[in-house]
Amino acid sequence: MKILWLDLNSSYAHSSLALPAIHAQVANNTAWEWDIVSATINENPGMIAGEIYRRHPDIVAATCWLFNHEMLLHILSRVKALIPECCIALGGPEFLGDNEDFLRRNSFVDCVFRGEGEEVVPQWLMCWNRPEEWASISGICYLDSLHVYRDNGLAKVLAFDTLVNPEQSRFFNWEKPFVQLETTRGCFNTCAFCVSGGEKPVRNLSVEAIGRRIEEIHRHGIKNIRVLDRTFNYNIRHAKALLNLFCQYPDIHFHLEIHPALLSDALKEELKQMPYGLLHLEAGIQSLRQEVLTTSRRAGKLEDALEGLKFLCSLPQMETHADLIAGLPLYRLDEIFEDVRTLAEYGAGEIQLESLKLLPGTEMRARAAELGICYSPLPPYEVLQTNEISADELQIARLLSRLLDGFYNAKVWQQVTRKLIVEQSDFLHRFLAYLTAIGVIDQPLGLERRGVILYEFCKAEYPQYETAVSLAWIEGGMSLKKQPASRVRTKHVYPVSDWETVYGEYREGMRLCLLPATEDTPVSYWFGFDTETQQTKPLFKAFSYQIKE
């Protein structure tokens, strides 16, 4: 029997754990031949289907999720036409709800699995070509020989700590820039918009088991680990033990999801001691409005969440990203703008503004009509409007997300963008209107182009920030011949005795440039560049209050 896995991802930087997680459980069964075709959603579906056809498998399996759903069906419908006798089986988060309509609309799919597959997929492989025996397998949904829908509930692995690790599979991909490390299953929280909301019991791996896996990952030279734990700090003792474990690998960057409302004093002390660059934190916040969080069944008090988030953002040795979700019930557009300003005030490393998606199997999708939510019936199931936010306002929120990604979340422009957001209450509205008016808000823009746009806007609307944009431009290593550097002097620039060093060390032979003071900004700035390496970013910065234009 030949099993082919279609590994269809949004890009080659990402890789699903589903195949190695399942294959690791049955790798010793030599009677089953495993194969894989990897592709992205940007490739031609006919070419991918043709590659599968040339392998001529008995079974084609794949994981279906929001962003590969449509392309996956295009490919598999072609495969079924080319190999009618082939059995097509799917799993993944798209099947956590009712699957009857899907199976009737896509008759080329033989069955789908709801839930966790490590135990039930091997059971199914023993009888894959005998559908009359499928009734005993948990989590499988299918149409029987009489086209009656059969639903075997939700598959759940209770002995999570006994599973063979995905890293033991030959299909575990060690070539990606990061690996995913699943340390828990389930979630203590009850968020109505999340597929893991209320998924209990929470099952943990021991710290010792996690340590062995990190050691193996480290041996492979991996420098980034994304810890798959819905709420890293729900168990304070376990979280502290893991932080101590992570400190043993200072050359690895650990990405964690953390709930800011659940930060104990003891855990705060642990976080204060973490080495620089060891942790990257994603702080789930969603909204800064208690009534929104309550309606969304998000556990934890808002007051505690804000205090915790402010603490996390204050830690200089790690970066904390915060997220907001437009389209949550009771969440208005003006509140979203206000919450973005608050997160900027806290100094969030990134502000991620996403549109709510009503995922299959979630409580919020089941209660959409009751909550006044209108959403797309097709993937990615984005909310189209609610009682509190109109369709047009949701589009404004989407464009605001583009603004944040392009300027606030870009390190070069973050400091000046943060100052503008915090100090100028109308900046976000005015800059968003400007980007829309010049037709670039939905265009991919390079860093320099973004800098020119920001400079031109500030020069016209907020001239007191013109120098701040120029400073960011210079320190970002961009061309000194373009408009944001129009005031920069590059010739006949010499050191002065009373400058104060900001960073670096001035050395003889450095190429100096000067951004002179103005009446509005009575500070002059010097930058030193290495003439030997021709680096575009300055190695030295100083300022003085003496020289003006």
Pairwise CA distance, residues 506 & 489, whole Å: 17
For 321-380, how does the pLDDT look when each residue is reduced to its tens digit (9 = 90+)? 999 999 999 999 999 999 999 999 999 999 999 999 999 999 999 999 999 999 999 999
Specify whether 241 is located in the same domain as 382.
yes
Q: Is residue 57, in this structure, part of any structural domain at all? A: yes
Per-residue buried b or exposed e for 216-241, using 16+ beta carbons within 10 Å of the residue's own CB: ebeeeebeebbbbbbbbbbbeebbbb
Q: Is residue 181, in this structure, part of any structural domain at all? A: yes
Q: In this structure, what token pair is assigned to residue 299?
A: 């556990």
The C-alpha angle 254, 256, 259, rounded to 5 degrees, equals 155
Tell which phi-psi region holds residue 478, choosing left (phi > 0), alpha (psi between -120 and 50) or beta: beta
CB-count burial class (<10 Å; 0-12, 13-18, 19+) for 500? exposed
Please choose, from the candidates 407, 411, 419, the residue with its C-alpha nearest in 3D space to the C-alpha of residue 344. 419
For 439-464, how does the pLDDT look when each residue is reduced to its tens digit (9 = 90+)? 999 999 999 999 999 999 999 999 99
Mean pLDDT of 123-128: 96
Give the end of a domain, one of 326, 358, 391. 391
Pairwise CA distance, residues 349 & 299, whole Å: 24
**What is the largest distance, in Å, between two alpha-carbon atoms of the chain?**
91
Q: Under 8 Å CB-to-CB from 511, ≥6 apart: which residues?
A: 490, 528, 529, 530, 531
The pair phi, psi for residue 436, each rounded to 5°, is -70, -40
Specify whether 373 is located in the same domain as 417.
no
Q: What is the pLDDT of residue 547?
A: 53
Pairwise CA distance, residues 169 & 163, whole Å: 12
Q: Is residue 494, in this structure, part of any structural domain at all? A: yes
Q: What is the pLDDT of residue 12?
A: 66
Q: What is the pLDDT of residue 198?
A: 61
The C-alpha angle 115, 118, 121, rounded to 5 degrees, equals 80
Percent of the chain with pLDDT over 70: 98
> What pLDDT band is residue 258 in, cutting at 50, 70 and 90?
very high
Specify whether 105 is located in the same domain as 187.
no
Please choose, from the candidates 172, 184, 186, 230, the residue with its C-alpha nearest in 3D space to the C-alpha of residue 210. 184
Pairwise CA distance, residues 469 & 239, whole Å: 41
> What pLDDT band is residue 201 in, cutting at 50, 70 and 90?
confident
Give the end of a domain, one of 456, 480, 504. 480
Q: Is residue 470, in this structure, part of any structural domain at all? A: yes
Q: Is residue 528, in this structure, part of any structural domain at all? A: yes
Pairwise CA distance, residues 167 & 446, whole Å: 37
CB-count burial class (<10 Å; 0-12, 13-18, 19+) for 453? buried
The pair phi, psi for residue 257, each rounded to 5°, is -100, 125
Q: What is the pLDDT of residue 500?
A: 95
The C-alpha angle 504, 507, 508, rounded to 5 degrees, equals 160
Pairwise CA distance, residues 166 & 180, whole Å: 10
Specify whether 284 is located in the same domain as 262.
yes
DSSP 164: P
pLDDT at 181 over 90: yes
Q: Hey, which residues does 143 pair with through a beta bridge?
A: 149
Domain count, the chain: 4
The pair phi, psi for residue 440, each rounded to 5°, is -120, -5
Domain extent, residue 421, equals 410-480
Pairwise CA distance, residues 109 & 25, whole Å: 24
pLDDT at 425 over 80: yes
> What pLDDT band is residue 11 in, cutting at 50, 70 and 90?
confident
CA-based torsion, 369, 373, 378, 381: positive or negative: negative
Pairwise CA distance, residues 114 & 94, whole Å: 9
Please choose, from the candidates 81, 86, 78, the residue with its C-alpha nearest in 3D space to the C-alpha of residue 111. 86
Average pLDDT over the chain, rounded to an integer: 94
DSSP 275: P
Q: What is the pLDDT of residue 533?
A: 81
Q: What is the pLDDT of residue 199?
A: 66
89: CATH: 3.40.50.280
- The CA–CA distances, whole Å, from 56 to 129, 130, 433 equal 16, 20, 54
Specify whether 461 is located in the same domain as 504.
no
Specify whether 214 is located in the same domain as 104.
no
Tell which phi-psi region holds residue 327, choosing left (phi > 0), alpha (psi between -120 and 50) or beta: left
Q: Under 8 Å CB-to-CB from 417, ≥6 apart: which residues?
A: 407, 408, 454
Specify whether 306 is located in the same domain as 377.
yes
Residue 437, classed as helix, strand or coil, is: helix
pLDDT at 166 over 90: yes
Element (H, E) at 255: strand 253-258
pLDDT at 197 over 70: no
Mean pLDDT of 22-28: 94
**Spatial contact of 5 and 171, defined as CB atoms under 8 Å apart:** yes
Torsion angle defined by CA atoms of residues 143, 145, 147 and 153, in that order, rounded to the nearest 10 degrees: -30
Specify whether 325 is located in the same domain as 189.
yes
> What pLDDT band is residue 521 in, cutting at 50, 70 and 90?
confident
Q: Is residue 171, in this structure, part of any structural domain at all? A: no
pLDDT at 546 over 70: no
> What pLDDT band is residue 187 in, cutting at 50, 70 and 90?
confident
Query: Could you give the residue ranges of the DSSP H alpha helices within 117-200?
Result: 120-125
Q: Which of 67-81, 295-309, 312-326, 426-440 has the lowest mean pLDDT?
A: 295-309
Give the end of a domain, one of 363, 391, 419. 391
The C-alpha angle 109, 114, 117, rounded to 5 degrees, equals 95
pLDDT at 494 over 70: yes
pLDDT at 146 over 70: yes
Specify whether 197 is located in the same domain as 313.
yes
pTM of the model: 0.92
For 501-514, how does the pLDDT look when each residue is reduced to its tens digit (9 = 90+)? 999 999 988 999 99
Specify whether 444 is located in the same domain as 548.
no
Strand residues in 66-128 grouped as ranges (E): 87-91, 111-113
**Spatial contact of 516 and 547, defined as CB atoms under 8 Å apart:** yes
293: CATH: 3.80.30.20
pLDDT at 487 over 80: yes
Q: Is residue 361, in this structure, part of any structural domain at all? A: yes
Q: In this structure, what token pair is assigned to residue 113?
A: 């699995």
Residue 68, classed as helix, strand or coil, is: coil
Specify whether 435 is located in the same domain as 525.
no
Pairwise CA distance, residues 530 & 188, whole Å: 53
Q: Is residue 399, in this structure, part of any structural domain at all? A: no
Which residue has 């918009």 as its token pair? 193
Specify whether 41 is located in the same domain as 117.
yes
Q: Which of 75-89, 418-432, 449-463, 529-543 has the lowest mean pLDDT?
A: 529-543
Pairwise CA distance, residues 34 & 5, whole Å: 8
